[in-house]
Structure 1
Amino acid sequence: MRPVSASARVLSRSTAPGIPEGTRDVLPPEWAQREALRARLAATFSAWGYRGIEVPALEYASPAHPQDALAFKLIDSGGQVLALRSEFTTAVGRLARTRFPAGPFPLRLQYAGRLWLRALTSELGRLREFNQSGVELIGVESAHADAELLHLADAALRDVGVHAQLEVGYPGFVDAVLEDAGLHGRAREELHHAIDRKSGADVDVLARRDGLSGDVTRTLHELTELYGGPEVLDAAAHMAQGTRARAAVAHLRDVAAQVGGPLLFDLGVSRRYDYYTGVTFRAYSSGLNQPVLGGGRYALEGGLPGAGFAIGLERLARAAASALPPEPEVVLALDLAGAQAARDAGLHAELAWTDDRAALSAYSRERGITRWIAGNGWLEVQP
């Protein structure tokens, strides 16, 4: 399969007039590449016991939805406010609660499809319409379950030829340390953001404003630097004072022991700490400054535990381009028997639409076709 050029991947409004900003046309080479990746991922997920589902692209709009502020909304003929699907976890959770209320748990599900966001986001490469494949492991909450997802994430990326580094976080650890330091309300919220940005300068400004002690300020700075290998867990253990913080470190040690392979830890990660209830993780591939995969542990409505991850197919296509096999040769078949013979040989065959050899020759040159077939016999492209 041919690598996709940058010009084919990124189509601006100037090169593709008539489409909204943040959307794009997908041309045949990239489409084939993306579908091959989707099929490989689905096969890997199935081999691990994750069964496929589909959920509607239209949902009921709700202020409680985690992406409500970013969702495209519309009104149906009955006056009901609907939203285009903006993330999969909520939809899969709704399906799990309504279709599998009694399990059996753990429930392993996989999905693939398109998402839409009203606002342009740099994290998604300025796209408002994009594709994801992913899995959800629902109904169990344990280090074994978290380790399974890390193993599966690594296996899925390797199966499409992408070598990536897994980076593990635990947003609740930062919150627990801030709680142990006696921080609450607005001060705690703002420090979450400063620590997540790893902004020591902002930490100092907030510490001075709120009159924090030197010891607490040093602890906050240490949080911004909790990044690296297994030694990070040792540093976090020394920092953990309360029950929640100590439990987070113990859980991460258990997960790491079960994964066995190399992991990076970012215990200063604090984004969406109010959404994630445990381990979070991302996978970074060389040459990309944004993750190709992300996920974590959460609680569904009603308290049902869940965890999963999603892979952005547009970003994965960039990371996997050099690892995908070349496309099969395309030939021009002058009759149905020739087309079948070519396809039986593993080639792609287009049928001739005319007996005009000059027209067929001109088309073959433009299309890059170098061989014709008729019956069981091969013909060279006529000049």
Structure 2
Amino acid sequence: MMATYQKQIPGGVQDYLQAECYHKRRVERALRETFMMSGYDEVETPSFEYYDVYSESNALKQERMIKFFDPNGRILALRPDFTMPIARLCATRMEGAELPLRLCYVGSAFGNDAGAQSQRREFTQAGVELLGLPGAKGDAEVIALAIVAMKEAGLTDFQIDIGQVEFFRGLMDQVGMNERDAEQLREYVEQKNELAIELMLKNYPMGGEIKSDLQRLPMLYGGPEVLDEAQAISSHPRCRAAIDNLREVYALLEAFGLSDYVSIDLGMVQAIGYYTGVIFKGMTGALGYPLLTGGRYDHLLRAFGRDLPATGFALGVKEILLSLDSQSALRRQPGVQVLVGADASCVSAAYAYAQKLRGEGVRTAFCLGCLPQQVVSQARQLGVPKAAYADANGVRQLIEVKEGEA
């Protein structure tokens, strides 16, 4: 029994082989660099925290989390996302920091149903949190950064869909729908299940015109013209404010030259108990689910004793890799470029020469205790294009390895 499990790994986790790890690290480096150059400083939080840190969020179901106990019997949870720990960090460790705070992260998160499309229990997220900057300026900044990050990771075919949870809340206020029914309707709208919406509203006590407007929600998708359609649906103050906010965000993204990547989707209403304004997601043709999600969560930090407006997003690194593969955009892993050999008396010279090449950015490996022809033979077998040899006469010039050389 033990021997069998020694050869396996638990469900929901994975090994990364050489090329896979190369691609993963390259994407992570690109994202880190993009965040840093945009003024975001990286932070790192523990892999597990007290369960109470996450229990305040309506978006994180407790059954999703991987939980265990500390020696004193307190419940701990492996990190299911980064937003809650960073909110705790900001409220408890960074009280005197100048606002706005721009923070970023790259690391592992864990969950029992995380990434339900692939049933992964450990996954890598990269993202940013912008704390202390309210309104459309903050929204536009993080959406623009999401677009740039996806481009810098190598993606060419993607789209950002933008919604506004306050528009849906305003409609619910207008019709006086109770919380339970509003949540059910929200799920149908998010799924774009037009038949279920129609059946639910069929016997609900409201005017025919507002019923018709609610049934149109899943279809309020497209360019900025959608905002005109939405404005005609309701004059409720929350709805009007939501549309005005989206207009301002879209205008800023247009000024940034990024509007071609953006669509408006007022039928996107996920996790409205968590988000408080603009929400967005990144999609590619390769995946039937988002590789990026984000939005404004202005009330989250209150749970930790600090009231700050906040917005951010999280990217799935594995999802980026899958999308890059589908777009044939994964760069080939560079191989060893030079194989350096030496006889037993010239190891020091060979090592010094190899270090010189490495300092110049040339991937270099050793073949010590070999004859020159053996070095060339090994280089050919390993696919290394050049070889060098150190002996009593010094280091020979690089030898081009050609097919048929011994």
Q: Considering the TM-score relative to the shorter chain, is it more than 0.5? A: yes
**CA deviation profile, 1:160-215 (whole Å, cap 9, x unmatched):** 32232221011221121122122113222211111111111111221134344432
Q: Mean Cα displacement is larger for which, 280-289 or 247-256?
A: 280-289
* Superposed displacement of residue 38, structure 1: 1.1
In 2, the alpha carbon distance for the partners of 1:191 and 1:168 equals 19
Whether 1:328 aligns to 2:334 is yes
Tell me if structure 2 keeps the 8 A contact 1:332–1:351: yes
Tell me if structure 2 keeps the 8 A contact 1:177–1:241: no
User: Of the two, which has the highest radius of gyration?
Assistant: 2
2:188 to 177, 181, 194: 194
In 2, the alpha carbon distance for the partners of 1:60 and 1:363 equals 54
Q: Mean Cα displacement is larger for which, 128-137 or 208-217?
A: 208-217
1:176 corresponds to which residue? 170
**CA deviation profile, 1:192-240 (whole Å, cap 9, x unmatched):** 1111111111112211343444323211111111111111100111112
2:345 corresponds to which residue? none
Tell me if structure 2 keeps the 8 A contact 1:226–1:266: yes
1:226 to 217, 220, 223: 220
In 1, the alpha carbon distance for the partners of 2:75 and 2:69 equals 5
In 2, the alpha carbon distance for the partners of 1:241 and 1:92 equals 37
Q: What TM-score does the superposition give when structure 1 sets the normalisation length?
A: 0.88
Whether 1:28 aligns to 2:28 is no
Q: Secondary structure at the match of 1:145?
A: helix
Tell me if structure 1 keeps the 8 A contact 2:108–2:124: yes
Tell me if structure 2 keeps the 8 A contact 1:172–1:270: no
1:95 corresponds to which residue? 89
In 1, the alpha carbon distance for the partners of 2:131 and 2:381 equals 51
In 2, the alpha carbon distance for the partners of 1:162 and 1:256 equals 22
1:340 to 355, 361, 373: 355
In 1, the alpha carbon distance for the partners of 2:47 and 2:294 equals 21
Q: Secondary structure at the match of 2:276?
A: strand
1:5 corresponds to which residue? none
Q: Secondary structure at the match of 2:143?
A: helix
2:38 to 35, 48, 59: 48
Structure 1 residues 69-80: aligned runs within 5 Å: 69-80=63-74
**CA deviation profile, 1:27-63 (whole Å, cap 9, x unmatched):** 1111111111111111111111101111111110123
1:270 corresponds to which residue? 269
Tell me if structure 1 keeps the 8 A contact 2:99–2:132: yes
* Superposed displacement of residue 311, structure 1: 1.3
Are the structure 2 counterparts of residues 256 and 87 from structure 1 closer, same or farther at C-alpha, using a change threshold of 3 Å? same
In 2, the alpha carbon distance for the partners of 1:306 and 1:95 equals 13
User: Cα RMSD over matched residues?
Assistant: 2.5
In 2, the alpha carbon distance for the partners of 1:293 and 1:376 equals 52
Q: Mean Cα displacement is larger for which, 236-245 or 67-76?
A: 67-76
Q: Secondary structure at the match of 2:149?
A: helix
Identity %: 32
Q: Secondary structure at the match of 2:398?
A: strand
Whether 1:378 aligns to 2:368 is no
In 1, the alpha carbon distance for the partners of 2:388 and 2:66 equals 50
* Superposed displacement of residue 362, structure 1: 7.7
- AA aligned to 1:50 is Y
Whether 1:18 aligns to 2:8 is yes
1:138 corresponds to which residue? 131
Q: Mean Cα displacement is larger for which, 334-343 or 153-162?
A: 334-343
Are the structure 2 counterparts of residues 354 and 221 from structure 1 closer, same or farther at C-alpha, using a change threshold of 3 Å? farther
2:105 to 101, 104, 111: 111
Q: Secondary structure at the match of 1:314?
A: helix
- AA aligned to 2:179 is G
* Superposed displacement of residue 310, structure 1: 1.3
Are the structure 2 counterparts of residues 150 and 372 from structure 1 closer, same or farther at C-alpha, using a change threshold of 3 Å? same
Are the structure 2 counterparts of residues 242 and 53 from structure 1 closer, same or farther at C-alpha, using a change threshold of 3 Å? same
* Superposed displacement of residue 271, structure 1: 1.3
5+ residue gaps, structure 1, are 1-13
1:9 corresponds to which residue? none
1:310 corresponds to which residue? 314
Tell me if structure 2 keeps the 8 A contact 1:174–1:269: no
2:289 corresponds to which residue? 290
- AA aligned to 1:126 is Q
**CA deviation profile, 1:72-96 (whole Å, cap 9, x unmatched):** 1111222222111110000111111
Whether 1:300 aligns to 2:291 is no
Q: Secondary structure at the match of 2:295?
A: strand
Are the structure 2 counterparts of residues 218 and 328 from structure 1 closer, same or farther at C-alpha, using a change threshold of 3 Å? same
In 1, the alpha carbon distance for the partners of 2:375 and 2:66 equals 46
Are the structure 2 counterparts of residues 355 and 198 from structure 1 closer, same or farther at C-alpha, using a change threshold of 3 Å? same
Tell me if structure 1 keeps the 8 A contact 2:31–2:126: yes
In 2, the alpha carbon distance for the partners of 1:151 and 1:35 equals 23
In 2, the alpha carbon distance for the partners of 1:362 and 1:64 equals 63
* Superposed displacement of residue 258, structure 1: 1.1
Number of aligned residues: 368
Q: Secondary structure at the match of 2:355?
A: helix
In 2, the alpha carbon distance for the partners of 1:294 and 1:92 equals 16
